[in-house]
Chain A
Amino acid sequence: MRNRDRILKNESFIIVLGMILLMLFFLWIFSRSFAYFNTGASKEDILNEEEYKAAYHTPSFTWADNGNEGREVEDYLKEILSKDYAHAWYYWNIQHKNGFAENSRIFYSMIYTDEFSKIFSAEPLSKKKVNRVDLEHHLDIHLYALDGQVISFTDSAAVIVEEIMNDEGKIIHSKKIEMTLDVVMVFQDAGWTIQHMVPRNIQDHDFPYVDAQIPQAPYYKVGAAASYQRNQQEFRPKGINYYPQAFPWDIWEPFPEDTIRDDLRIIKELGMNTIRIFVGFDEFGKGYVDYEYLEKLRILLDMAEDEDIAVIVTLFDFVGNYELPNWPACDRHLETILKKFRTHPAIFAWDIKNEPDLDFKHAQTDRVINWLEFMLAKARQYDPNHMITIGWSQPEMAYLYEERLDFVSFHYYRKSKDLAVAIQELKQQTNKPVVLGEFGMSTYNSYLFPFGKYEEEQAQYYNEILAVLEQDEIPFISWTLHDFPEVPSKVVGSLPWRKNPQAHFGILKQDGSPKLVADVLADSFDHSTSIQISWIQKVLRPFHVGVLLGIIFVIVGVLLFWKRKLIIQRLNLFSSSS
């Protein structure tokens, strides 16, 4: 009997456990389904996927000016030819990956289309796979038919990047290939079609992409003893990551010019001399950078120059796709922005990517690293005047590529007492100057949020961090100027316990008044003094009070339920006597 009871008891436990797991499973299915049906169709789904992606395949083109036989080459021809030639390459590239490309026949003669079809759809001779993308074409036209129907050109030093992957999809080779192609294209069916293409002078290199030399920037530059200089004067960045209060993470579409001007004055009054801003890749138009947005960026940089504030411009914000087909669009984005502002004196540095190490897991480390190598090399090429860095999310990652950066930048949201050790460890791996690109503490403190902090704690955290930085002479860019009324879901998702804390990292409250931390940031503040927080504050946090009230409420409820008969009896007696 006892044995049977024990078995039943165990089985009941298993049933309850199973029920919980099953419910969690259904909850997961429900949440995924809900998310799927609320996501909406992507552009790739709405448009023809291949066509959409082909439109964003924008490798760079240069044209030799040697003259040619036949008809004079018009600018319009260059535009159309480069577009069709890039499309032809796009479909050639994706055939390596997919084994077929339906639209390739538009850009190749029938003979090529058939051959591609045969060799790419044939049984592979290896389980390893190839991804590739073309990035540069340098065209030298030899012959352009008098009636504009045939063109012959040499594509000198065309640059292709390839990823060779093993059967598990892991990159085993990253290659940069340069080669020369003699090409004949014919204009038919309203487009240019490749008739002949013969490669020669194939140069195959393994990554890194190029070994870029670090030039001496004429504006802001690294000086002696890991300091910074501007116009031969020592300059120590002391700054803040900046978004206008009403438009966090979405500054460029509304672009509140007056607000930004006012904010820059406030930043100056707070004793800061640097801001870090973010340029969204999608927002700015991917490979086709919107001139209107470039103009807005120029206005912001000009305003910063007027206020004598240096600007770190962080590029490729919200880019999580490091796959090869996205590289040409990233390259055009980089080229357009950097070439436009390469002589702007307000730019302290280009921050190539914000926290790319967070993408190592989902995008494959090698792929992210290859992308960074490529972008670093290109950034040097497009703007040799300004400094370049990468905003790593952790100090442990910040040594990566330090030899190719002007200074090392990392972000820090951990305990203040561990910062000194992290900096020391980093300094053992690099001689480059270090900048703390982000740090801060949220003052969100709610009855429902267990990790809430007071303004005093934020001030204390800043004070401790700044004390370490002062000791190591490390410049900083804190996070952030304002408390925000709303944080877009694209930043941290839509869950309130993630969004609300993110909205309260500011030095200024939502009403614009400064928090205690503003005093700590003043130059005159002595960081050796400690900021005390009373034990009452520590114990009676809103969440603790909430929990206490909840417990009391439950106890009272249970007591009322337990003694309900007695209470009803008493109430009846009271009513009958009255």
Chain B
Amino acid sequence: MLLWVCPHYTDMNRYLAYIFFITFIFSCGKQEVDDLSVTDIDTSQYGFSIIESSIAGDDVWINITGDVSKSNDFYFLIFHPLGRHIMDVNENFMQIPKSWTKRSGEYDVEFYHFNQLIEKKKFQVMPREAIGDLNSYIGPKSIITTINEPCMIIGIPTDTFNNPMMDGTQVAYNLQRPGLDIQNRSISIQKLTSNYVFNAQTLNGKTLVGINCNASYSMEKYVDEEPGWPKQIRISPIPKTLKADGKQFVTISTEQIRDALNNIVMDGTQVTFFLLGDDGSTNQFTSLTVDGKSKIFFQHPRKTMTFQVYAVSGNIKSNTIPLAFETNAKEVPMLLLEEDNLIRIGPITSHLQQFIPDGSKIRYAFYQDGQIMREGTVATQKGMTLIRLEDLVLDPGEYIVECEYEGNTSVMTLNIGN
């Protein structure tokens, strides 16, 4: 251990001095200075006055009476709108930094020597004239005509240092309402703000708003005066005979939707169409209005059925119209080809005498004594399809064969011998 501390005995004194130095440093505590007693200075000889212009951003000077060079312990505690700061006194004529005095509000100045208060004063800094941008807020940004919805415009004019104006300052509000002349209002500021409230009128459109106060102007703002909710919805009739071919689309549309004041409802008003099928199915489609109309496209079903159609927007429900889809195929011919041990189904044609679409599914079933013995589906090609009896491996006997396509059914009797 000793060798590690003092590798060379001749260095010993140096190491020891180092150790004692460290020990000394660690053992030394900071001596507390408790005595803040006032010196011999007679503080009654001292005071100050404030040379102020009362306008934000102007110079504010403090003139101190008494010889401040006698002590280094004079200071000011200044409470200003941006916080508290302390300023040591080193001359009789001192300026309060401009970065503090450009804020309007009340200033509290206390003059101390050590911790003894010599004098205390207050002064008020006023905002400069309103100039530049005027802070304005409008809300809601759109109002509904049918409910006479109100809109509030708030104007907060400020000076170059962003100080709000004093209470009582007049702020001019200029409004251009849809279909009306420009309206002017003068509102006085209270608690830093001014505001004007107007309600939506019967005509829809944009209301333009401008606010100004002296040389301070707001950016142009506008409010959309929007029509209200739909008053009535009607679905346009669908005259065509519709086929259940599963390929085409049917368009269902509303008539132009209007609000209680006969304004066309806003573009984008949501309309939901409901299609209730006679097989218990429910289809729901949502669409938005354009120029008051809303429409949906609905694919033809592949089987004959009838829907009851109605539309809903908000709490308004339209009339209900029926929508029927007839069968696409006239008949499903079926033929037994005994030599080939096949049953041919087709050709199946639709109402325009064309083959039904390739891949149309045809369901078949083989019954014996009322029991299903075999069943399945086959797809058509060029309106026809084949059922290979060998593949079905049927026992000898008599069978009823049934084929069905989109609700059209054909039946035949089939005898399979030994």
B106 near A126: Cβ-Cβ < 8 Å = no
CA separation between A223 and B173, bound complex, in Å? 69
- Number of B residues contacting the other chain (C-beta, 8 Å)? 58
CA separation between A77 and B81, bound complex, in Å? 26
CA separation between A118 and B102, bound complex, in Å? 13
**Could you count the A-B residue pairs with CB atoms below 8 Å apart for me: how many are there?**
153
Q: Does A170 contact B (CB under 8 A)?
A: yes
Q: Say which one of A143-151, A249-257, A308-316 lies at the interface with B.
A: A143-151
Q: Which of B16, B33, B137, B162 touches A170 (beta carbons < 8 Å)? A: B33
Q: Which of chain A's residues have a CB closer than 8 A to the CB of B79?
A: 177, 202, 204
CA separation between A172 and B152, bound complex, in Å? 50
B197 near A132: Cβ-Cβ < 8 Å = no
Which B residues from 71 to 116 make CB contacts under 8 A with A? 75, 77, 79, 81-88, 97, 99-100, 103-106, 108, 110, 114-115
Closest A residue to B158 by beta carbon equals: A196
CA separation between A111 and B137, bound complex, in Å? 18
Q: Which of chain B's residues have a CB closer than 8 A to the CB of A445?
A: none
B86 near A164: Cβ-Cβ < 8 Å = yes
Q: Does A523 contact B (CB under 8 A)?
A: no
Whether A152 contacts B192 in the complex (CB less than 8 A), given A115-B103, A147-B152, comes out as: yes
A125 near B162: Cβ-Cβ < 8 Å = no
Q: Which of chain A's residues have a CB closer than 8 A to the CB of B88?
A: 125-128
Q: Which of chain B's residues have a CB closer than 8 A to the CB of A145?
A: 137, 139, 152, 154, 195
Q: Say which one of A14-22, A56-64, A451-459 lies at the interface with B.
A: A14-22
B137 near A150: Cβ-Cβ < 8 Å = yes
B99 near A115: Cβ-Cβ < 8 Å = yes
The digit string for A348-384, where 1 denotes a CB below 8 A from any CB of B, is: 0000000000000000000000000000000000000
Closest A residue to B34 by beta carbon equals: A170
Q: Does A320 contact B (CB under 8 A)?
A: no
> Distance in Å from the Cβ of A12 to the closest Cβ of chain B?
10
B16 near A18: Cβ-Cβ < 8 Å = yes
A146 near B164: Cβ-Cβ < 8 Å = no
CA separation between A96 and B84, bound complex, in Å? 7
CA separation between A170 and B36, bound complex, in Å? 10
Q: Which of B1, B83, B156 touches A92 (beta carbons < 8 Å)? A: B83
CA separation between A152 and B190, bound complex, in Å? 10
CA separation between A44 and B6, bound complex, in Å? 44
A173 near B77: Cβ-Cβ < 8 Å = yes
Q: Does A116 contact B (CB under 8 A)?
A: yes
> Distance in Å from the Cβ of B232 to the closest Cβ of chain A?
30
B83 near A18: Cβ-Cβ < 8 Å = no
The digit string for A122-158, where 1 denotes a CB below 8 A from any CB of B, is: 1011111110100000000011011111101110000
A199 near B191: Cβ-Cβ < 8 Å = no
Closest B residue to A179 by beta carbon equals: B106
Which A residues from 84 to 140 make CB contacts under 8 A with B? 92, 95-96, 109, 111, 115-116, 118-120, 122, 124-130, 132
Q: Does A11 contact B (CB under 8 A)?
A: yes
Whether A186 contacts B140 in the complex (CB less than 8 A), given A116-B82, A154-B191, comes out as: no
Q: Does B23 contact A (CB under 8 A)?
A: yes
A126 near B75: Cβ-Cβ < 8 Å = yes
Which A residues from 444 to 495 make CB contacts under 8 A with B? none
Which A residues from 11 to 53 make CB contacts under 8 A with B? 11, 14-15, 18-19, 21-22, 25
Give A contacts to B, CB under 8 Å: 11, 14-15, 18-19, 21-22, 25, 69-70, 92, 95-96, 109, 111, 115-116, 118-120, 122, 124-130, 132, 142-143, 145-150, 152-154, 162, 164, 166, 168, 170, 172-173, 177, 179, 182-184, 186, 195-202, 204
24 contacts between A and B (CB under 8 A): A18-B16, A22-B19, A69-B195, A115-B82, A115-B103, A122-B99, A124-B85, A142-B190, A142-B191, A145-B137, A145-B139, A145-B152, A145-B154, A145-B195, A146-B152, A149-B137, A154-B191, A162-B84, A173-B115, A195-B156, A196-B164, A198-B81, A199-B106, A202-B79
* 6 tightest Cβ-Cβ pairs between the two chains A and B: A147-B139, A126-B86, A146-B152, A126-B88, A125-B87, A128-B86
